[in-house]
Amino acid sequence: MAIITILGAGRMGTAVTWPLRDNGHEVRLVGTHLDGEIIRACQEQRFHPGLRRRIPDGVLPLYLEQLDDALAGADVVVSGVNSLGVHWIGRTLAPRLWPGAAVLSLSKGLEASADGVLRTLPEVLASELPAGLREAVTISAVAGPVLAYELSGRRISATVFCGADRDELLRLRGIFHNAYYQVWLSTDAVGVEVFSALKNAYTIGIGAARGMLEAAGGPDEINAAMHNTAALLFAAAARELSHIVRLMGGRPEGFAGLQGAGDLYVTCTGGRTFRLGWLMGTGLTYSQAQAVMQEDTLEGAFAVLQMAHILPVWEAEGRIGPDDLPMLRAIIRAITSDTPLALPWDDLMGVEQMFV
């Protein structure tokens, strides 16, 4: 049995303790400086207030101050923070990791640097490590469609572990995989991370079909909705996502998997980001939609803002033309200028690109 140390006691960091404990591993769950209340509740009541569940027997909740002890002998160090905490995780682990350490990152997202380079979050994490150590550890990442509420309810779930090291991925799979947490693998870390990060941006566009139907007064007299329109948007998203993955050196064929179609599908069956797109499809601006939802929709918009930085750079470098990625451009325009979403229906697919 292995020792797993998780840094970050949020919902997803904690949810993976279910398969880990069911698989019989030693699990140390360490809160960040923001997780003090969570750790207290976990220690005193064995209850996670975010997940609203009793945590599995045997999980050891620890405060950040106990991190050094928690890392002793760890076979896997899991980064359980969200995308905003990746730099912090890197800096926190930098003086504490050892050659041969195995890191598994649960954070999804992309980060655009000031100079217009788009990096996956495992790359960002690695960049915080000292040069000698960076090459001496393995950093793998988790992506794919897993809601923490469902995983911690032992609903059948599947995820993708990705990284450069095939043997390391198989080792990690041996630790985490079980009947309700099925671990698929990919050596295409770039593709997996890009699909995963950008699905939210495209879900805004796909959700718009529902809002357009609402704005049109709903189904017509014979109950015709806008399924055709939704299908067009889903397909256009699939094409653009594959294009971006190819541009970044990933493998577009991964779209036919958990990281691509599986994740995009389920993001489009509900949730906050889909609802944001739905509201924007009715004609609301981003800020108006946020006001209606009365909640933070930054997760969906975050990748959009990242791509808003990157597209001009790619265009200047000649990697894309001004007519490429029209759906993403429309979504970027709506959100950055806070104007109604205007999808370019006639140009969603150029004739020269439509031949598959």
Q: Is residue 342 within the footprint of a second copy (CB under 8 A)?
A: no
Pick from 3, 34, 60, 147 the residue near a second copy by CB under 8 A: 147
Q: Tokens representing 87?
A: 């730099």
Distance CA 280, CA 268 (A): 14
CB under 8 Å to 231, separation ≥6 — which residues?
Answer: none
DSSP 8-class letter at 178: B
212 to 231, contacts with a second copy by CB under 8 A? 220-231
Pick from 30, 77, 172, 261 the residue near a second copy by CB under 8 A: 261
Distance CA 144, CA 125 (A): 19
Q: Is residue 185 within the footprint of a second copy (CB under 8 A)?
A: yes
Q: Is residue 354 within the footprint of a second copy (CB under 8 A)?
A: yes
3-state helix/strand/coil string of 192-244: HHHHHHHHHHHHHHHHHHHHHHHHCCCCCCCCCCCHHHHHHHHHHHHHHHHHH
Q: Is residue 295 within the footprint of a second copy (CB under 8 A)?
A: no
Q: Is residue 345 within the footprint of a second copy (CB under 8 A)?
A: yes
The residues that are catalytic are 199
Q: Is residue 63 within the footprint of a second copy (CB under 8 A)?
A: no
Query: How far apart are CB 256 and a second copy at their closest, in Å?
Result: 4
Binding segment for a second copy among 73-81, 122-130, 233-241, 322-330 (CB under 8 A)? 233-241
Residue from 56, 61, 46, 71 nearest 19 by CA: 56
CB 311 within 8 A of CB 290: no
Binding segment for a second copy among 16-24, 114-122, 235-243, 315-323 (CB under 8 A)? 235-243
37 to 56, contacts with a second copy by CB under 8 A? 51-53
Q: Which lies closer to a second copy via its Cβ, residue 201 or residue 266?
A: 266
Query: How far apart are CB 130 and a second copy at their closest, in Å?
Result: 31
Pick from 71, 263, 308, 310 the residue near a second copy by CB under 8 A: 263
Q: Is residue 355 within the footprint of a second copy (CB under 8 A)?
A: yes
Distance CA 71, CA 336 (A): 42
- Please provide the DSSP assignment of 278-311 as one string: HHHHTT--HHHHHHHHTS--HHHHHHHHHHHHHH
Q: Is residue 16 within the footprint of a second copy (CB under 8 A)?
A: no
Binding segment for a second copy among 69-77, 92-100, 144-152, 327-335 (CB under 8 A)? 144-152
Binding segment for a second copy among 94-102, 264-272, 298-306, 331-339 (CB under 8 A)? 264-272
Q: Is residue 349 within the footprint of a second copy (CB under 8 A)?
A: yes
Q: Is residue 292 within the footprint of a second copy (CB under 8 A)?
A: no
Phi and psi angles of residue 61, each rounded to the nearest 5 degrees, phi first: -85, 135
Q: Is residue 187 within the footprint of a second copy (CB under 8 A)?
A: yes
Q: Which lies closer to a second copy via its Cβ, residue 85 or residue 257?
A: 257
| CA-derived radius of gyration, the chain | 21
Distance, C-alpha 346 to centroid of its chain: 30
Distance, C-alpha 45 to centroid of its chain: 30
Binding segment for a second copy among 32-40, 86-94, 139-147, 317-325 (CB under 8 A)? 139-147
With H, G, I as helix, E, B as strand and everything else as coil, classify residue 3.
strand
Pick from 35, 111, 123, 188 the residue near a second copy by CB under 8 A: 188
Q: Tokens representing 125?
A: 């994490």
Q: Is residue 239 within the footprint of a second copy (CB under 8 A)?
A: yes
Count of residues of this chain found to bind a second copy when the rule CB under 8 A is applied? 73
Q: Which lies closer to a second copy via its Cβ, residue 122 or residue 257?
A: 257
CB 192 within 8 A of CB 141: yes
Residue type, 269: T
Q: Is residue 11 within the footprint of a second copy (CB under 8 A)?
A: no
Q: Tokens representing 1?
A: 């049995």
